[in-house]
Amino acid sequence: MYGMEIQAAIAKIDKFSSKEEGNKVEIIERPNGGVSIVMAEGKLAGSRSKGVTMKAVHAVLNLIGEGVPDGASARVVLQRIHDEHREIANVNVSIISCDLQSGTIVITKNNSVPVLIYEEGESRFLPLPDDAESRQYDPMVYQFEFQLGQTFVLITEGVENAGAYSDNQIDLRTALGSIYEDDNDEPSVQDVADNLLHQAIGHDNGRPRDDMTVVVLKVSPATFRDIRRETVSFPIKNDIA
């Protein structure tokens, strides 16, 4: 019963010199067991919008907390935002869940930003349909049975496009693989999230051109019975004091 556990980590940074956060990510425990991580980045009239992003994440979290399936939760919220703002708002939503009721990892997304999977010493992309960009209001849902060692990495557009403006775009599979090759021991999920984020920042010459978020979730051998652990590190900017 306690042969496996889910380990998850998040690393994020705001766009360089920007005072408004465009990415939002939150974790919630599922009512029937497990956890969900909801990540979003919203735009209003073509510009980043913290309001649209927060609205999407909180609404999805509320529905999942009520027991609504991930795909249906995302679909309802995305349609609600469309109806409220007409054609001037859009939001990328990505959800990864450990669903104990079905015994699966569930990934839900309405965008073409890649998802990385690392297992058996190799990294690969989650195959997305050719029409992924047109699924803004009809999210795609993928399910994977629990497999020890399988690691999933969700990112936002800022990580995907790191270095694109200087002809030095990040190679995500190579970047992820290098984290495991450079570590003598198996890297922790936080190590993976931090390292991939730092590589993306480096490709933007230390000044992220967009908000960057990395979410890592791994199925690991259980270490503690019944104990749930969560660690948070949040920077306080100097201009607040």
Residues 131-158 have pLDDT tens digits of 888 899 999 999 999 999 999 999 999 9
* pLDDT for the residue 1: 46
pLDDT tens for each residue of 157-188? 999 999 999 999 999 999 999 999 875 678 99
- What is the pLDDT confidence band of residue 18, given thresholds at 50, 70 and 90? confident
Vertex 46: Cα angle to 43 and 51 (nearest 5): 30
Rounded Cα distance, 87 and 22, in Å = 19
**DSSP states of 170-183:** --HHHHHHHHHHS-
Task: Give pTM, 2 decimals.
Answer: 0.92
Q: CA-CA distances (angstroms) from residue 109 to 114, 125, 146, 193, 208?
A: 10, 14, 20, 19, 24
Spatial CB neighbours of 33, under 8 Å, sequence gap ≥ 6? 99, 100, 101
Q: What mean pLDDT comes out for the span 68-93? A: 93
Rounded Cα distance, 168 and 112, in Å = 21
pLDDT tens for each residue of 189-208? 999 999 999 999 999 999 99
- What is the pLDDT confidence band of residue 241, given thresholds at 50, 70 and 90? very low
Q: Which of 146, 142, 145, 171 is nearest to 159 (CA)?
A: 171
Rounded Cα distance, 206 and 220, in Å = 33
The structural domains of the chain, ordered by start, are 4-240 (3.60.40.10)
Alpha carbon 55 to its chain centroid, in Å, reads 17
